[in-house]
Amino acid sequence: MSSNTADLLIEATRDLLWERGYIGTSPKAIQQRAGVGQGSMYHHFTGKSDLALAAIDRTAEELRAAAERQFAAPGTAVERITAYLRRERDVLKGCPIGRLTQDPDVMSDPALRGPVDETFVWLRGRLARVLAEGRAQGEPDVAALDPDSTAATIVAVLQGGYVLARAADSTEPFDQAVTGVLGLLTGPPPTDRD
């Protein structure tokens, strides 16, 4: 049994959790998606919960790494946050971590809920640090903003944008939400006073 088999199982579980949620992700469906047998699954994982935790952990790590690429890049605070909010996403599928908050089986299990909560705590904290860096550098767009509450607002708008997009079956509400929160960060556009 190779680590490749474990990776196949984790990736299959990630996909199924995103598509079907925890309750809809059966061990049989995982094995079929991964193309492995029951023995291989239980060789690497103690059961569905153990495998789901590995899948959620990997998803959370990848989301944090992807966000960190924008947050650590050169530029002003608003430029880095804009890059994060405007990066390519599968909007209509929703956030793979945010969707788990709607799954009662994940939220009722402290082990499975842990990486979900940790990811959102990290994201709010990292956004707050980006905003605080901008304030410390004297960037006018963020000078008057409270970093913690603004970071919480950005995360709420982003997650709400996913929900609105899924409800409308269109990316337009997500794009509008992102444009709106960026407008709040940068203030109103200049107007011509002729």
Phi-psi region of 103 (alpha: psi -120 to 50; beta: other; left: phi over 0): beta
* pLDDT above 50 for 132: yes
pLDDT of the residue at 98 = 93
Residue 27, Cβ density class (10 Å: 0-12 exposed, 13-18 middle, ≥19 buried): middle
* CA–CA gap between residue 35 and residue 41 (Å, rounded): 10
Question: What is the mean pLDDT of the segment spanning 163-176?
Answer: 97
Identify the CATH assignment for 56-186 out of 3.20.20.150, 1.25.40.80, 1.10.357.10, 1.10.300.10. Answer: 1.10.357.10
| Tens of pLDDT, residues 75-113 | 999 999 999 999 999 999 999 999 999 999 999 999 999
Residues 67-79 have a mean pLDDT of 96
What pLDDT was estimated at residue 42?
A: 86
What pLDDT, on the 0 to 100 scale, is given for residue 39?
A: 86
Please tell me the distance from the alpha carbon of residue 6 to that of residue 132, in angstroms, as a whole number.
Answer: 41
| pLDDT recorded at residue 126 | 98
Give the pLDDT band (50/70/90) at residue 189: low
Which amino acid belongs to residue 32?
Q
Does the pLDDT of residue 5 top 70, yes or no? yes
Q: What's the whole-number average pLDDT of the chain?
A: 92
Note the pLDDT tens digit of each residue in 147-169: 999 999 999 999 999 999 999 99
Note the pTM of the prediction, 2 decimals.
0.89
- Contact status, residue 72 vs residue 84, Cβ threshold 8 Å: no
DSSP the chain: --HHHHHHHHHHHHHHHHHHTTTT--HHHHHHHHT--HHHHHHH-SSHHHHHHHHHHHHHHHHHHHHHHHHTSSS-HHHHHHHHHHS---GGG--TTGGGGG-HHHHT-HHHHHHHHHHHHHHHHHHHHHHHHHHHTT-TTTTTS-HHHHHHHHHHHHHHHHHHHHHHTSSHHHHHHHHHHHHHHH-SPP----
pLDDT digits (tens, 9 = 90+) for 12-62: 999 999 888 899 899 999 999 999 988 888 888 988 999 999 999 999 999
Q: Is the pLDDT of residue 188 over 90?
A: no
pLDDT digits (tens, 9 = 90+) for 15-24: 999 888 899 8
